[in-house]
Amino acid sequence: MSPLISNINILFFFFMIMISLLNQSSNAADFCVADLTAPEGPAGYPCKDASTVTSDDFYLNNITRTRTRYPLFKVSATFATTPNFPGLNGLGLSMHYFEIGVDGFVPILTKPQTSEIIYVIEGMVDVGFISSDNKAFYKTLRDGDVFAFPKGLLHFFVNSGRKSTARILASYSSSDPGIQFFTNSIAGNDLPSEMVAKVTFLDTDQVKKLKAQFGGTN
């Protein structure tokens, strides 16, 4: 056997070994598609059997189409988050598409673990957030504009286009962001109204009124 041929043979076997190593290591750590039948923990869902993962786990058909409606705020939204987009599990990212109707708004809220960036597809919207030292950062956005909300801070959206619906795409640094609406949090609970009034500086009557509106008791 000539030295040339034996060198080619060695190279060939080297490549075969590389390819088989690559094949063995494929998949295992590429993704952790959510097993939605198991409970969700702080780090997300457990992974479902990789052999049952399909392209549809990484796909959501037309995010603008099937929206959940919130008539009180004149908002409708589609959530591309782990519960309806299992391929996002563990990736630390997700999306919402939402529309805010004329006179509509998103009430002040925080996503405690999650930073956010939005893109205004259409319309005009006032957005803002309040920092830990109570400084307000506030802007009027029009179609094509982008705005970022740092993690955990209280923020809001108000449709300021007199006649047009605002259409917005938002991306998050979490696969399934927890959301706390400020007013729901203080008025949607079963704490005694007197206690809520004391810790919020609101009047007890005002707290009772808000509790009736936001499903709280006591």
Interacting span for ligand NAG (CB under 6 A) from 44-52, 58-66, 84-92, 142-150: 58-66
Rounded-to-integer distance, Cα 185 and Cα 216, Å? 9
Rounded-to-integer distance, Cα 43 and Cα 131, Å? 26
Q: Does 64 bind ligand NAG (CB under 6 A)?
A: yes
Residue 172: other Cβ atoms inside 10 A: 26
Q: What count of Cα atoms within 13 Å lies in the side-chain half-sphere of residue 151?
A: 6
Interacting span for ligand NAG (CB under 6 A) from 59-67, 71-79, 104-112, 127-135: 59-67
Q: Please indicate if the annotation marks 96 as binding a ligand.
A: no
Radius of gyration, alpha carbons of the chain: 25
Q: Does 65 bind ligand NAG (CB under 6 A)?
A: yes
Interior angle at CA 59, CA 51 and CA 24, nearest 5 = 30
Q: Which of 37, 62, 132, 134 binds ligand NAG (CB under 6 A)?
A: 62
Rank residues 102 and 195 by Cβ distance to ligand NAG and give the closer one: 102
Pick out the residues of the known binding site.
116, 155
Pick out the residues of the known binding site for Mn(2+).
116, 155
Which residues contact ligand NAG (rule: CB under 6 A)?
A: 62, 64-65
